[in-house]
Amino acid sequence: MLCRRILLIKVWNNGRRWLLPSSSLSPVPTTADYKRHFSTHIMAAFSLPQNNQFTLKIPYMENRCKFSSNAVADLHTNGIVDVPLAQTGEGIAECELLKWFIQEGDEVEEFQPLCEVQSDKATIEITSRYKGRVAQVLHVPGNIVKVGETLLKMAVEDTQVPLVTLSNLENEKQPDTKSNKDFTGGVLSTPAVRNLAKEHGININDVQGSGKDGRVLKEDVLKYATQEGIIKDPLVTATATADLGQLFHREKSSLLESAQVSGHYEDTIVPLRGFQRTMVKTMSMAAKVPHFHYVEEIDCDALAELKASFQTNNLEPGLKFTFLPVLIKSLSMALSKYPMVNSCFNEESVEVILRGSHNIGIAMATPNGLVVPNIKNVQSLSILEITKELSRLQQLSLDNKLSPADISGGTITLSNIGAIGGKFGAPIVNLPEVAIIAMGRIQKLPRVADDGDVYSASIMTVNIGADHRVLDGAIVARFCNEWKRFIEKPELLMLHMK
């Protein structure tokens, strides 16, 4: 009895904002009526006093979804739930839909991957919270989906849908039936076809389908658009709606052949998505920062001998040693002496934060754009551990599987442009970091010794880009000299390594 009284008080507290004094005397529904009403629509049954008169006001909630960071809307109608895009990371407002793992009509198990999305920080798989069947897919690959926007609708058993409290409904809005107009009426079509119809302002219910069971195909939409005078040449439209990934990976030879056959060359509009959109924003902000650059040459003969020795004595199959792990470790040793280079700048408070960890980022060019994952706590890692972590990050970047943790929290960046070509570059800082280093390729060049003899040396040119609001030339020069000393004399690196 006591437990029931406490539960009754809690429910009334959660719902008190919806219970308003009645302006007119209306018949008071019975307790059974209230129980039946709420258990049918929101599954939150409770008992009410028998002799109080009031008007119960609650928003209409059919076919709506309330987004939560836990992944799925809890409101449902007849076993249909809306699956929204969950919050994939701090500060993420939208994601690009890369691909679906399911299609309409598929049976889905709990925790089964539904789709893959990419934010400006990482690529993430969205999994199912429910076991059920995919009723409707609302987006196609390449679409930009806002956090909280519905990705798909699923048909599930009522027992799987969690109970809803009245407090969750406080800020709900009336459902927008207009936005769902084109998706009703029982028309069979894929999300890509519906999206094509939407682009041309065509109600897909007006299109006569030629596919199986009356399914509307892309050709049906283009034919209808041509008949209605919306477009003139369906082939041009079909080309314009090609998948973005196909545009990026299309062979140049096929483009030239197509242009020669048609007799003219056409421009192609390619929207920037994912990491490329991130680069637009970050570089636009970084361009406003006052930079200066410091260029130095480093003799890498001793480094080349050390790398060859590592590879000769390598006992782990599949592990390849390069110059980069030693450069990363020696950089960390130099940062320990000059911590200002391993800092970040807070523009609002005009403060410099000296970062305790050496999270050294490595700029990597991938098919999906430039990405900068970082190796955490380099100061506490061995060269072998750095080699393994670098290999892991390189593989994940190629597979487009980097996690938010892999690409966040960097303190300084290395850009190994020499691996592709070029003697040196002029890099722009990766905010909020205050320094970035571009390394050119190592090349054999003639040098003159103190006694006048000419000899051949393996020379690498480095260019340090620095935020002049925080760093000055003297600090960067001393820091670079320390780094150079460890590279040219690796025995000092072994001597000071902890």
CA distances from residue 179 to 36, 60, 63, 95 in whole angstroms, order as listed: 31, 17, 12, 21
Are 140 and 152 spatial neighbours (Cβ–Cβ below 8 Å)?
no
Q: Do residues 413 and 437 make contact, with C-beta atoms less than 8 angstroms apart?
A: yes
Number of Cβ atoms within 10 Å of the Cβ of 297: 16
Element (H, E) at 353: strand 351-354
Complete edge-to-edge strand list for the sheet that includes strand 80-84: 76-77, 80-84, 150-156, 132-137, 107-108
Cβ pair 97, 117 in contact under 8 A: yes
> 308-313: which pairs have CB atoms within 8 A and are 24 or more residues apart?
310/383
DSSP β-bridge partners for residue 466: 292, 435
* Cβ–Cβ under 8 Å, residues 360 and 412: yes
Residue linked to tokens 């400006």? 120
State how far the alpha carbon of 94 is from the alpha carbons of 72, 144, 145, 149, in Å: 16, 7, 5, 9
d(CA 63, CA 182): 15
List phi, psi (to 5°) of 324: -60, -45
Instruction: Please list the active-site residues.
Output: 468, 472
- Quick one: angle between helices 473-488 and 301-312, nearest 10? 50
Q: Is the dihedral of CA 152, 145, 431, 394 positive or negative?
A: positive
Q: Residue 448: in which H helix or E strand, if any?
A: strand 443-448
Determine contact, residues 181/202, Cβ cutoff 8 Å.
no
SS3 207: coil
